[in-house]
Structure 1
Amino acid sequence: MKKIAIIAVTEKGLEKALIIQKEFPKSLVITTLNSSDKNVSTISSISNYLTDNFLKLDGICFVTALGICVRLIAPYIQDKNTDPAVISVDDLGLNVQAVLSGHKGGANDFALKVASVLGANPIISTSSDVQNIWALDTLANQYDWQVATSLSMNKTMALFVNNKPTALLLDIKDKGTQHLEKTVPNFVTVFYDEAEIDYTQFELFIAVSYKVYTSTIASVFFIPKVLSVGSGCSKQLDSVLFETTLKEELKNRNIHFSAIKNVGSIDIKAQQQAYLDFSTKNNIPFSTFTSDEIDTITVPNPSEMVQSKIGVDGVSESTAMLLSGSKNVLIEKQKIHLENGEKFTFSIALDVKAERRTAIAIIGAGPGDEELITVKGKAYLENADCVLYAGSLIPEEMTNWCKPGAVVRNSAMMTLEEQIAVMQEHYKKGNAIVRLQCGDPSLYGAIQEQMTIFDELEMEYFIVPGISAFSAAAAVLKSEFTIPEVVQSIVLTRGEGKTPMPSKESIAAFAATNATMCIFLSVGIAKKVEAQLLEHFDADTPVAVMYRISWKDEEIYQGKLENLAKIVKDSKKTRTVLIIVGHAIGARKNRSQLYSPDVKHIFRTNKKFVVTE
């Protein structure tokens, strides 16, 4: 909300109004009281103020009794589509009531926000909120969908809030459909194929789709912008004929015109007036591509004539595929001859991100603690049909998030080929697949070779980042690894053992910066690492040797760099160790000396530090 008025009529109410105002910087506090506060506007009449400003405001917060609020706004209420969001807060800030324009105007969200500021009780009375079910009248705005209904939205919502049997059809995948899938009310049945719906069993039909459906029951259609249109044309193309004909062609194919996300052509058509007019009138972005870009696409219907004239196999299919990112088209090239003798072609592709297909989720599982997984990663894990995890690097407890019936395999004893075979089997079935990687997949996660194979097999995948061991190390050490005027960089690296290092990435080269060093996979060559670090770090630079950070058997040893190799040897740890080196470890302003000469190292186990002589 941009324009908000906070109206108070008592001194206590004015105190609360000023607290609320701090959370809404552009808001204005209005009162009839005398006040010297520069943030308060004193007026003579609230009624006169509302006469002039009611419809100009996005939100009004009354810090008054509810009855006063209702009487004051009553003369100005017109329509829920234009009325501002109105809420009422009592003088003591105990309760916050959404009064007017709860959904469309945003009063419910406004009330929840103000309640959180005051620590008050939010009072929301709209039926969908009370039942914790979808607010059908706000879903479109929330997820940037267009909306169409067979009945009025009020009648449609009445069916829904009365829990009438509802069929939900999801033809695409986006944040909105994922939300709907996760929050399905018990009276809603989800379908992914319209042919499977028996409309006699339902009273309401909801579709999230680019397709037009004709149902025999009350319907609401949410139309996402997911279609890319590619087009080529003759030298002249009438703007009006192009648009009306394209609309008719889509209508005949039961496709919503409002589902068009963008339109494209070859760069020699960049100034084609019909395309420019179409883009401007419908607020649909128009893009062009060079011949070289178009030549990267293998089109379903290559044209020898187009190749001979402009040097590419086709324009409409290739540009639709380039815009959408898809390797397929929904509608292959269509040749249209207009009544005035002009011609154009068009093809349509579905945005690859909106396709309902499976993809392998490569998920960062975090450093070890099963709760140190991202909310997004956990959600995918909970819904996966197949999960592969390396048991030596990821705690088995993390698989407790998996749903009953999921195939959960420890990949520690499997070859890469065996792992790929398992994932392929589930991929072909369209099952949800998760590959759990320790820490964050971008750091020593060995995902590069897996992704290469996925690319070769044309298996879709995506990555959900995780918490790296170095982040967990900073938390355990209660340290900020970047401290102004001390250290401003972090180096994540490994020592050179059996695996060669690039010539410019030696430990010594990085040590020359005196940045905070986080050294992975190097405990077996600790003596060599120590010597390289001492080329540039002082001997008394703090170090931490951290074994299985955040695991239940976590052990942490601290000391000075000159004793690094001895600390490692005494710890008897040979793997799953992260070495941290730098002045940021344990640094505090005006802190006392942490590392006295007679302290060899600090040992931490079972979540406690123990100083060892």
Structure 2
Amino acid sequence: MIELQEAQKAQIKQKGNYAVVAITKHGVELARKLGNTFQNADVYYMGKFEKGDEKEKEIQLFTGSVRLLLPSLFEAYKGLIIIISLGAVVRMIAPLLKDKKTDPAVVVIDDKGEHVISVLSGHIGGANELTKEVAAALKARPIITTASDVQETIAVDLFGKRFSWVWDSAEKLTPVSASVVNEEKIAVVQESGEKDWWQYGRPLPENIKSYQSITEALAAKPDAALVVTHRNLSDDEKQILHNGVLYRPKVVVLGMGCNRGTSTEEIEAVIDETLEELNFSKKSVNALCTIDLKKDEAGLLEVANKNRWEFIYYIPDELNSIPIKNPSETVFKYTGAYGVSEPAALLYSGAETLALMKKKSGNVTISVAVIPY
């Protein structure tokens, strides 16, 4: 808990590039949502709204006036996303302003999450682009008042953030961003994930081209690349990352069943082994799905919570509504469903086929599907 006092610098623990700050009940819910959506955002809110999972989610609580917290955040972060009234924010940051070349981006959100406002460092600091990304994530209205907006192009460090995409490594974010801004030859290769990432009402800029495969993109010899896939790349394909960023869309769905009392370690070991066999990235896992009889299974819950995956369970009738290749009378006898892992993965993903039909390993059964877009 950060205890804020006058004449004392707040001792924050910075991990990401952006800080999300809230001081109200509704603001806290918005802050938590943004913390889950934006991979490189640290969340701060008042201790009186503590929910009990802050340590696990690396959320930082504070007591005292938020005015005393802002100087530390202003100095440390690339951007601040503040869920407080615009007037209050303007008064609090006024004494902190130095230069438009060094001041962080500041974005303000109203308490209902209806409007996202670019307040400070719209161009150089990236507040305008951050405003658009946050607004898209909250389905809110972006408010940008600068006379000329930022280049209508891809923001590399925010690409796909509203869909919760994550990157494998931040190493090439800066040079690839420079290539995009400087209108160099950019290749985009997307094998999976949401397709509606381009939000402008016009075609992609001429310097940005989409390719069907990494091989095709490499042949075009781009200056930089953005690759979106749940798949692990081959050694030859990794050449594209010489000046490229690899994004992981949340498209992999795990359908699972297990014997009562199966350990967390065994469950996670089976998951890791299975994903490696499929050549899928663990960072692309979206959800772990099972039957409602397992909704309190400690091992499954712990694995889902640890990895920040959705934990979904279905009643037998829902599972039985999905046709599977080898329905089991034995499973039906004990659960009321003819299968668990296979229909659970298909139900959540909406896929017509499974990437892995069913694999039994020790006390665990697992099926894998990929969300189609």
TM (norm. structure 1) is 0.39
Larger RCO, structure (CA 8 Å, separation 6 or more):
2
2:322 aligned counterpart, secondary structure:
coil
Distance in 1, Cα, partners of 2:207 & 2:156: 15
| Equivalent residue for 1:293, pick from 318, 324, 337 | 318
Q: Pairwise mapping of residues 211-610 of structure 1 onto structure 2 (< 5 A)?
A: 211-213=231-233, 214-216=237-239, 217-303=242-328, 305-307=330-332, 309-337=334-362, 343-351=363-371, 355-356=372-373
Tell me the residue number matched to 2:71: 54
| Equivalent residue for 1:205, pick from 225, 228, 231 | 225
The one-letter amino acid of 1:296's match is S
Shift of 1:206: 1.4
| CA contact 1:206–1:220 (8 Å) conserved in 2 | yes
Distance in 2, Cα, partners of 1:114 & 1:165: 29
Shift of 1:259: 2.0
Tell me the residue number matched to 2:155: 135
Shift of 1:203: 3.1
Distance in 1, Cα, partners of 2:344 & 2:310: 13
Q: Are residues 299 and 85 of structure 1, via their aligned partners in 2, closer, same or farther at CA, if it must alter by over 3 Å?
A: same
| CA contact 1:163–1:187 (8 Å) conserved in 2 | yes
Tell me the residue number matched to 1:101: 125
Distance in 1, Cα, partners of 2:132 & 2:197: 23
Cα shift readout 1:233-278 (whole Å, capped 9, x = no counterpart): 1233110231243134213422122222222112222221111112
| Equivalent residue for 2:210, pick from 177, 186, 190 | 190
1:215 aligned counterpart, secondary structure:
helix
| CA contact 1:321–1:329 (8 Å) conserved in 2 | yes
The one-letter amino acid of 1:211's match is R
Distance in 1, Cα, partners of 2:317 & 2:189: 40
Tell me the residue number matched to 2:106: 85
Shift of 1:317: 0.7
Distance in 2, Cα, partners of 1:154 & 1:211: 24
| CA contact 2:270–2:364 (8 Å) conserved in 1 | no
Distance in 2, Cα, partners of 1:108 & 1:179: 9
The one-letter amino acid of 1:345's match is T
| CA contact 2:252–2:369 (8 Å) conserved in 1 | yes
Distance in 2, Cα, partners of 1:236 & 1:286: 17
Number of aligned pairs? 276
| CA contact 2:264–2:302 (8 Å) conserved in 1 | yes
1:142 aligned counterpart, secondary structure:
helix
Q: Are residues 180 and 150 of structure 1, via their aligned partners in 2, closer, same or farther at CA, if it must alter by over 3 Å?
A: farther
Give the fraction of aligned pairs with identical amino acids, expressed as a percent. 21
Q: Are residues 348 and 114 of structure 1, via their aligned partners in 2, closer, same or farther at CA, if it must alter by over 3 Å?
A: closer
The one-letter amino acid of 1:276's match is L
Distance in 1, Cα, partners of 2:231 & 2:200: 19
Alpha carbon RMSD of aligned pairs, Å? 4.1
Q: Pairwise mapping of residues 118-157 of structure 1 onto structure 2 (< 5 A)?
A: 122=147, 129=150, 131-149=151-169, 151-157=171-177
Cα shift readout 1:63-98 (whole Å, capped 9, x = no counterpart): 9xxxxx8x96349x98x8xx45289xxxxxxxx963
| CA contact 1:86–1:98 (8 Å) conserved in 2 | no
1:255 aligned counterpart, secondary structure:
coil
Tell me the residue number matched to 1:160: 180
Shift of 1:114: 6.0
Distance in 2, Cα, partners of 1:177 & 1:105: 13
Distance in 2, Cα, partners of 1:310 & 1:50: 55
The one-letter amino acid of 2:204's match is V
Distance in 2, Cα, partners of 1:142 & 1:258: 16
| CA contact 2:319–2:337 (8 Å) conserved in 1 | yes
| Equivalent residue for 1:172, pick from 164, 189, 192 | 192
- Structure possessing the higher radius of gyration over alpha carbons: 1
The one-letter amino acid of 2:238's match is S
Distance in 1, Cα, partners of 2:272 & 2:308: 15
* Structure 1 unaligned regions, length at least 5: 5-48, 64-68, 88-95, 116-120, 338-342, 357-613
Q: Are residues 234 and 178 of structure 1, via their aligned partners in 2, closer, same or farther at CA, if it must alter by over 3 Å?
A: same
Tell me the residue number matched to 1:586: none
